[in-house]
Amino acid sequence: MNRKLSILTAFFSLLVFSTVPAEAEYEELTGSYSVHDPVMARHDDTYYVFYTGHRTPFRISKDMHHWQSGGYVWPSGPPAWTWEQVPYFDGNIWAPDISFFNGKYHLYYSISSFGKNNSRIGLATNTTLDPCEPDYQWIDSGGPVIRSRSSDSYNAIDPALFIDEREPETTYWLTFGSFWKGIKITQIDPNTGCPFTDPPKLYSIATRIEPPNAIEAPFIVLRNGYYYLFASFDYCCQGTASTYNVRFGRAERVTGPYIDRDGISMTEGGGTQLTRPDDRWKGPGHQAVFQDNNGKDWLIHHAYDASNNGRAYLRIHRLFWTPDGWPSLNEPNCADVYNLGYGLAADFAPDCYIDFHDLAFLAKSWLIDYHWEGLAVLAEQWLLCNNPADPNCTPNW
């Protein structure tokens, strides 16, 4: 029993830690895809990327590769209240977020100015994202849904909505924040898109405790019972000198605590690094996660192009998950455990594929110790290690 347990533990460890580091491979994009602070949605057969800019511009694509300008949310300029509420606002609307619920698309957006936390988060709704449809019309809330003032310890920018369908009753949460005391989350009323109370009840979920205190752009996803918080650390908006990078942690509750891979809470400065610069692309950050119709996750963010004067461009990368449940930009590789004598059939070594025969070989000896439930967990881990797209693999189910 103890020997088999140690073998199983070692096998899982190899699955978790055997990923070979590789340079992240981004999707090849063409057309017009210069953006800053992007977020992506799909409506019918078209992808939409909304991003920071005057009048809130967006790009469109049929295949997630070739992009073109789609127009503006506010063709005539920002809503009137934005100029009245925020001193030094220059018309540049920051970091929009797009989500769909209650039969409408909800676009949250930021009104602010650099280095100040006298900021507002606004909301606009639409029944469609397609400007050619007759019902296309963005209707603004007419005022801020969340605000921060210079006396507050937080900053009302970078909103991102998270819909929590895990609870008995679906709940809606808005994350936001930057610098100051970091990232906040508050529950909202889905009928109004606003917090239930004024002032809102805020939960702190991430902050930096040592200089630089730069943190912003929160985004939450739920996967396999864990809430994952992504945030951008360090500095954006400086071209090739930008030091932006994406970090993450996970929690068992949406309000935290979010813990990184080293066991450090994100409210104590923790956060495992996900994106890194390379020779061409600097400051990869301000991320969102998009799940396509096939259940694949994609990391959406911008980076600054050193080959084009540090201009910000859209970057799209498949988001993978390690066998122990952490996000990664590298596809997990299988461990060559055959040579270690752990009883796998010989075909595992050349094709890195654990098939029915491998499973049957081990099931007989392990079934007594681990019972059906344990064997099911083992089989799930094996399936995570498979690559059916590999021409060397021949699935047996």
Please say whether the dihedral angle defined by the alpha carbons of residues 213, 216, 222 and 223, taken in this order, is positive or negative: negative
Asked if residue 53 lies in contact with residue 303, where contact means CB atoms within 8 angstroms, the answer is no
Radius of gyration over every alpha carbon of the chain, rounded to an integer in angstroms = 23
Asked if residue 277 lies in contact with residue 304, where contact means CB atoms within 8 angstroms, the answer is no
- Compute the distance between CA of residue 125 and CA of residue 105 in angstroms, rounded to an integer: 5
Assess whether 23 carries a catalytic annotation. Answer: no
Torsion of CA 165, 171, 175, 180, to 10 degrees: -130
Q: Which of 97, 216, 355, 358 is catalytic?
A: 216
Assess whether 216 carries a catalytic annotation. Answer: yes
- Residue 260 has, within 13 A of its CA and on its CB side, a CA count of 19
The phi, psi pair for 334, rounded to 5°, reads: -80, 150
What b/e sequence results for 217-256 when a residue is b if at least 16 CB atoms lie within 10 Å of its CB, and e otherwise?
bbbbbeeeebbbbbbbbbbbeebbebebbbbbbbbeebeb
Which residues are the active-site residues? 37, 216
